């Protein structure tokens, strides 16, 4: 038997329901990952997670699909299945098919994106994976490429959010698995 | 403090140490904690929290069912464990922000 159990749809507590419904609208017609239902009994934590998601990766957002592609690639790099499927569900609603998304995951270096979008994805991925290696020159280069300071802060926020989401989702998922 | 130490986030590390000093911990004791967290003079429940919060922050995918049973056996309730996982996730988010900003400001 698993350590955590996800709440069945009809047993989601009233104080948590609005957050589950927000998630359902984001991934529609996909399914909300079980890890969110496993936090349904803990409204404060679920609320914090969903509100962080809404704040850092709103739909729509200023970077469009690039922001969700970055999320998918961060989830893929970390091996977080729940975040990976959530990102892909959002990208599917934006017109990306499975084959195109698979190619992106296999070869992120060859992203078929506009230069600006490609930079957003690559820099966000770098912040998420190795923020300690960033130097002032990296940020100057982005500013010289036309990104505003506010846009760069947005990228940091997206990367930081995915580091929260992948950590929490992978850890909760471990508690949902049976031996 | 230990997550910040492991991730090399000097700003977070200094902040946590300042907070711990306010709680009565001295510099020497904190340095000993960083060098050898296993020797911490804590209750078993607190020691479990510390061990698994650090592990979750560094390797959430490495947790196994047995780890959850161990946390429970050492005094953490299911609710405590959810809090622990969320705390580790928050630390990872916070340090992503801080390390990036430090790099941007050229203070690294």
Position B107 scores a pLDDT of: 55
CB-count burial class (<10 Å; 0-12, 13-18, 19+) for A151 = middle
Q: Are residues A179 and B65, on separate chains, in Cβ contact within 8 Å?
A: yes
Chain B residues whose CB is inside 8 A of the A4 CB are: 68, 78
CB-count burial class (<10 Å; 0-12, 13-18, 19+) for A90 = buried
Strand segments, DSSP code E, in chain A are none
Residues A61/A66/A69/A73 CA torsion (nearest 10 deg): -110
Q: What is the mean pLDDT of chain B?
A: 93
For residues A9-24, average pLDDT: 94
Non-local (6+) Cβ contacts of A141 within 8 A are: none
Residue B23: how many other CB atoms lie within 10 Å: 6
Is a pLDDT exceeding 80 seen at residue A179? no
Q: Domain A9-176 falls in which CATH fold?
A: AhpD-like (1.20.1290)
Q: Are residues B100 and A161, on separate chains, in Cβ contact within 8 Å?
A: no
Q: Are residues A159 and B100, on separate chains, in Cβ contact within 8 Å?
A: yes
> How far does B8 lie from chain A, in Å, by closest CA?
7
Angle of the A149-176 helix axis to the B65-73 helix axis, nearest 10: 80
CB-count burial class (<10 Å; 0-12, 13-18, 19+) for A112 = exposed
Position A77 scores a pLDDT of: 95
Chain A residues whose CB is inside 8 A of the B72 CB are: 3
Higher pLDDT, A108 or A160: A160
Q: Which of A51, A39, A52, A19 is nearest to A160 (CA)?
A: A52
Is a pLDDT exceeding 80 seen at residue A108? no
For residues B51-73, average pLDDT: 97
Query: How far is the CA of B76 from the CAs of B7, B49, B92, in angstroms?
Result: 25, 8, 22
Top CATH class, B2-105: mainly alpha
pLDDT band at A137 (very low <50, low <70, confident <90, very high): very high
Position B108 scores a pLDDT of: 44
What residues of B are in the A interface, CB distance below 8 Å?
A: 7-9, 56-57, 60-61, 63-69, 72, 78-79, 81-83, 85-86, 88-90, 92-97, 99-101, 103-106, 108
Q: 3-state class of B88 per DSSP?
A: helix
Position B85 scores a pLDDT of: 98
Q: Which of A32, A168, A80, A8 is nearest to B81 (CA)?
A: A168
Q: What is the mean pLDDT of chain A?
A: 93
C-alpha A167/C-alpha A163 separation (Å) is 6
């Amino acid at each position: 038997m698993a350590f955590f159990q996800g709440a069945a749809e009809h047993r989601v507590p009233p104080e948590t329901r609005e957050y589950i419904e927000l998630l359902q609208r984001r991934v529609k017609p996909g399914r909300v990952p079980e890890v969110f239902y496993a936090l349904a009994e803990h409204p404060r934590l679920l609320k914090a997670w969903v509100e962080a998601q809404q704040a850092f990766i709103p739909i729509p957002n200023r970077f469009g699909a690039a922001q969700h592609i970055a999320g998918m690639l961060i989830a893929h790099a970390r091996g977080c299945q729940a975040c990976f499927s959530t990102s892909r569900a959002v990208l599917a609603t934006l017109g990306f098919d499975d084959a195109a998304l698979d190619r992106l995951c296999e070869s992120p270096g060859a992203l078929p994106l506009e230069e600006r979008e490609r930079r957003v994805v690559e820099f966000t991925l770098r912040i998420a994976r190795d923020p300690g290696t960033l130097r002032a020159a990296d940020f100057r280069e982005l500013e010289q490429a036309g990104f505003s300071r506010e846009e760069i802060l947005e990228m940091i926020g997206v990367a930081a959010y995915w580091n929260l989401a992948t950590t929490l989702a992978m850890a909760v998922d471990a508690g949902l698995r049976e031996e | 403090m230990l997550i910040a130490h492991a991730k090399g986030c000097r700003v977070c590390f200094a902040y946590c140490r300042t907070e711990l000093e306010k709680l009565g911990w001295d510099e020497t004791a904190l340095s000993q904690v960083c060098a050898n967290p296993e020797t911490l003079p804590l209750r078993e429940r607190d020691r479990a929290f510390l061990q698994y919060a650090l592990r979750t922050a560094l390797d959430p995918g490495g947790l196994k069912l047995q780890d959850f049973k161990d946390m429970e056996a050492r005094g953490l309730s299911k609710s405590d464990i959810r809090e622990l996982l969320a705390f580790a996730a928050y630390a990872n988010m916070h340090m992503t922000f801080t390390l990036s900003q430090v790099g941007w400001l050229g203070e690294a």
